[in-house]
Amino acid sequence: MRTPVSAGVVGLGPWGRRLARTFQGLPGAELRWVCDVNQAAMVDARQRLGHVGIAADVDDLLRDESLDAVVVATPPSTHYELARRALEAGKHVFVETPLALTGVEADDLVARSERSGRFVMVGHVLLFHPAVRRLRELVDRGSLGEVYYLTSQRVGPPNVQRQESVLWDLGVHDVAVVLYLLGDQPVEAGARGDSYLKAGVADVVVATLAFATGIRAHIQLSRLEGLPTRRLTAVGSRSTAVFEELEQERPLTVFDHDPLGEISSPRLPWEEPLRAECAHFVEAVRSSAEPIAGVREGAAVVNVLEALARSAEHGGVGEAVGGIEARPGVIRLPARTS
């Protein structure tokens, strides 16, 4: 029997609690620690998670020499520092999005991860959605023909609790999926944003990413609309594919451009994306295989977001995307035939 991969979760907000429960229920994983400065969260964790170590200080986890991995589910402003400290302590790291809040920090984590021989995987959970996997297959096989452009909408009702720009809150998901589907990083990024609920904090952003291939991606983000929409469309010379994230039964629909062509919504084998993501991280640690949504891919997303933020500050002028480029092929998922 193989030794379980031991993990500790830092941050017990709603998403951190989901991560803790998921790792606790995974075959091949052992949830050894949970950590939060909030005492009420710790009491709740003790009741819900049973016999796991409870800590108010992350140093308790980092000093545990037998702990394999640290899962960071704290506010984004703390991601870089906690991931850096975990790497220095010799731990693998799973960090929720975004990897960091600046390209300099993100690229530093790339260098530290590669020097240490420890993995950093970023929680881009949509890369593990069965419909996104299938859409990547369609793009790779050329089933859509030549890809012309992608559009995405991620909008929802007002959220006065959020303190960061909608770009860093919601946009991180769409940027990650676009880069994953195309297996590429844009050369230029442009964005315009507007603030309504709080001065200086954009509630609405419209962004465009331009790739060297000529493909463009158009992203619409808003926290001010009534009905939530989570849609991504890939338009090709032969077909158009639409991913509806909120659609449970048939999240992917393909429209053939031929006048007599078919409209198909393939049935996809379902696996809960968060569980698939956590299981993939555990297997990467166990097998020493480079994970999907690894540190380079996470850094690529941060560098794109940073370029978009600069563009928005400068009135929408196109900005070059810098930083360490994603290693080709790393974020490609294995082919799925079902």
Write out the DSSP string of 73-124: -S-GGGHHHHHHHHHHTT-EEEEPSPS-SSHHHHHHHHHHHHHHT--EEE--
pLDDT of residue 325: 54
pLDDT of residue 1: 43
Q: At what angle do helices 103-116 and 79-88 cross, to 10 degrees?
A: 20
pLDDT of residue 333: 33
pLDDT one-digit tens code per residue, 17-48: 999 999 999 999 999 999 999 988 888 888 88
Q: How far apart are CA 114 and CA 139, in angstroms?
A: 30
Q: Quick one: pLDDT band at residue 276, thresholds 50, 70, 90?
A: very high
Q: How far apart are CA 142 and CA 164, in angstroms?
A: 38
What residues have CB less than 8 Å from 8, skipping those under 6 apart?
31, 32, 33, 34, 35, 53, 55, 61, 64, 67, 69, 70, 71
pLDDT of residue 259: 79
Q: Which of 9, 325, 338 is nearest to 183 (CA)?
A: 325
Q: Quick one: pLDDT band at residue 160, thresholds 50, 70, 90?
A: low
Average pLDDT, the chain: 92
pLDDT one-digit tens code per residue, 58-113: 999 999 999 999 999 999 999 999 999 999 999 999 999 999 999 999 999 999 99
More confident residue, 310 or 47: 310
With contact defined as beta carbons under 8 Å apart, do 256 and 143 qualify?
no
pLDDT of residue 330: 36
pLDDT of residue 59: 97
| Residues comprising the chain, all counted | 338
Which residue, chain included where needed, has tokens 């620690």? Answer: 33
Element of type H or E holding 312: helix 295-313
pLDDT of residue 332: 33
pLDDT of residue 336: 31
pLDDT at residue 327 is higher than 80: no
For residue 192, the cross-strand partners are 206
pLDDT of residue 47: 87
Distances (CA, A) of 156 to 112, 123, 173, 222, 230: 37, 21, 14, 6, 9
pLDDT one-digit tens code per residue, 189-208: 999 999 998 888 999 999 99
Find the mean pLDDT for residues 237-252: 96
Q: Which amino acid is at 90?
A: G
Q: Quick one: pLDDT band at residue 324, thresholds 50, 70, 90?
A: low
Q: Quick one: pLDDT band at residue 331, thresholds 50, 70, 90?
A: very low
pLDDT of residue 231: 98
pTM above 0.85, yes or no: yes
